[in-house]
Amino acid sequence: MTSADTNLAQPHSDDENHEGHRIEGSLPKLAVGAIGVVFGDIGTSPLYAVKETFRGHHPLPVDQLHVFGVLSLIFWSLMMIVTLKYVMLVTRADNKGEGGSMALLALITRKTGAGKRSGLLVMLAVTATALFFGDAMITPAMSVLSAVEGLGVVDERFNRLVLPIAVGILVGLFMVQSRGTETISKFFGPIVLVYFATLTVLGVIQLLQHPQVLAALSPHYAFLFFENDPLLAFLALGSIVLAVTGAEALYADMGHFGRKPIGVAWLWVVLPALTINYFGQAALLMRMPEAAENPFFLMAPDEMRLPLVILATLATIIASQAMITGAFSVVQQSVQLGMMPRLKIMHTSASAYGQIYVPVVNWVLMVLVLLLVLTFQKSSNLAAAYGIAVMGTMFISTMMIGVLTAKVWNWPKWRVYLVTGTFLIIDGSYLSSNLLKVPEGGWLPLLVAAIIFVLLTTWAKGRELMIARLREAAMPVKVFIQSAASSATRVGGTAVFMTSASDGVPHALLHNLKHNKVIHDRVILLTVKIADMPFVEEDTRCRLEDLGEGFHRLVVKYGFMQEPDVPAALARLTGCGPAFKMMDTSFFLARQTLLPSSRPGMAIWREKLFAWMLNNSESAMEFFRLPTNRVVELGSQVEI
């Protein structure tokens, strides 16, 4: 196995007998859990969406035309983008229960096979993944800052404490990641449930004082806004989009809770609470236009504002936690699918599904989030950078869903064009409005996404080239066995040669024979493959082939949400001699040193970048859980 093989793990398409994981728990319990994890981001949008729309970089007059127009746009955006697109449509596109851009890509390619569109689909999925990291950087900074800024509404003297408190909260949040969140996550659902109940109560109190704003439920007020003030209406979309940030989490986190609990939580709890609160803020603005400075906190009576700040801060911490956990999960999927080099991934719980910790991602995210907070200092300044990554991801998801409905679900063309076209127009309008934010700070998530995109594509292309170069010099297995079995000295024990290719002779085997001039009595040529689905059942995991003369080829398959464990797979293996004993088994790995060259493939700078990523990737011993005292690494050089 080469270090470039991440993973040895080759993405593998094989639809036979694979099942998704089972989600344990009753519908109410799962729905409450989803409220705490999935809806934290979109649930905290009322803290800043209306405020930024009326007092952001393109402020609006606080009058009936603009208030009703904005509220109508917010409500119908929630209905069209979140309810219809994500809850009703996108969550149906599950890959054995899992969602997200990578899972959707794997689902489409498995069902349609490799074709002309596969390269484009991969680029779309990689771009969406890169944009996700831009969003993951901004969400904690934006949400925590906006909540803590409520202290200034309680008492102006607290304004000087906002920045240090926000920094302290964020540092503490990232510091506790290594300990896992299994214990405190049990309180996420109830806390956010109380938060949504508070949103509802505050909204109802204001609506009772000015119920006329409910007329904005009619979409004609949105059209009236565009008809009377088209430029400001278009610019306002860049702030109104803040009301739907976090919608992508419905799909990405589907594997944790299931489609039905997420739909129930949205339709019966989250959507009503958000709608009532947004219209309550509108009712407040119609009575007190000056409340546009911070309508969310000004809805509450004076004596209740400090408790509201505390509750909102807890909700934003939970939303940030969900985003950080999501980043860890995306990294795990990308590593398993061969889009990233091996990274150290630690499991923080023996029982809770998805509880992982990726140290390098955690610390890089923390540094970037703190730089954002200290640079922009106010949530209003950060709002300029917020939304671009979100809408970019949503736009890409719509395109991929278009391919899915046409090629996998076999919808009639008119239906594909109607549904996909409608959502592309909506997403495209929001995206184009957000692109105007680029000079004001929107360049930042795009820059981060561009860097991630270059890293992901360089790694994927580098692995492809390296494996191709190694195969060029590969010797057919049958020829090797016929010549080596009779001439080499056989020694006792088992040798496992790990290789990324399921044909040919591993380089480690050739080097071992060259230097040590021996072959073990039992030789296993082992390839680990990652299926394009999240889980692979135990009874279909291993495929064994007897090559003769004590040689066996073994292919072990895992889902992209599973962690490879080679010793465990060998322990369950039968049909190739006596049971495996680790003290009698040696694992041979090939570690390649890359030599950038002028050969066609990648630019020299990308070859050097790939070599750097390769040298800094996590040890294959830890990735495959190999016993460290039974591993032998044999080095060689290869030009790419």
In the chain, the largest separation of any two C-alpha atoms, in whole Å, equals 94
Q: Is 358 or 100 the better-scoring residue by pLDDT?
A: 358
Q: How far apart are CA 200 and CA 194, in angstroms?
A: 10
How far from 229 is each of 57, 205, 221, 226, 602, CA to CA, in Å?
Answer: 17, 31, 12, 5, 50
Averaged pLDDT, 58-65: 92
Residue 618, both tokens: 């996590």
- Ranges assigned E (strand) in 121-214: none
Output phi, psi for 526, to 5 deg. -110, 125
What is the value of pTM for the model shown?
A: 0.83
The 10s digit of each residue's pLDDT in 370-395 is 999 999 888 888 887 888 888 998 99
Q: How far apart are CA 621 and CA 270, in angstroms?
A: 45
Looking at the predicted structure, is the pLDDT value of residue 154 above 70? Answer: yes
pLDDT of 2:
41
HSE (side-chain half, CA atoms, 13 Å) at 271: 20
The 10s digit of each residue's pLDDT in 543-582 is 999 888 889 999 999 887 788 889 999 998 888 888 898 8
Q: Residue 461: name the closest of 77, 4, 51, 61 by CA.
A: 4
**CA dihedral over 597, 602, 604, 608, signed as positive or negative:** negative
Domains assigned to the chain = 38-460 (1.20.1740.10), 475-639 (no CATH)
Please give the full DSSP string across 565-585, using - where no structure is assigned: -HHHHHHT--SSSSPP-GGGE
The 10s digit of each residue's pLDDT in 228-262 is 999 999 999 999 999 998 888 788 878 778 889 89
Find all residues with CB under 8 Å of 67, minimum gap 6, and list them.
213, 216, 282, 285, 286
Q: Residue 271: name the closest of 55, 552, 43, 464 by CA.
A: 43
**Beta strand pairing call for 542-548 and 356-357:** unpaired
Q: How far apart are CA 137 and CA 370, in angstroms?
A: 9
Helical axes 443-472 vs 116-148, angle rounded to 10°? 140
Find all residues with CB under 8 Å of 193, minimum gap 6, and list them.
32, 35, 36, 269
Report the 3 state secondary structure along 370-388. HHHHHHHCCHHHHHCCCCH
Mean pLDDT of the chain: 86
Looking at the predicted structure, is the pLDDT value of residue 299 above 80? Answer: yes
Please give the full DSSP string across 470-509, using - where no structure is assigned: HHHTPPPHHHHHHHHHHHSEEEEEEEEEE-S-SSS--HHH
- Ranges assigned E (strand) in 501-624: 518-531, 542-548, 551-558, 585-595
Q: How far apart are CA 557 and CA 553, in angstroms?
A: 13
SS3 of 400, please? helix
CB 314 within 8 A of CB 586: no
Q: How far apart are CA 61 and CA 232, in angstroms?
A: 10
pLDDT of 361:
92
CB 4 within 8 A of CB 639: no
Looking at the predicted structure, is the pLDDT value of residue 329 above 90? Answer: no
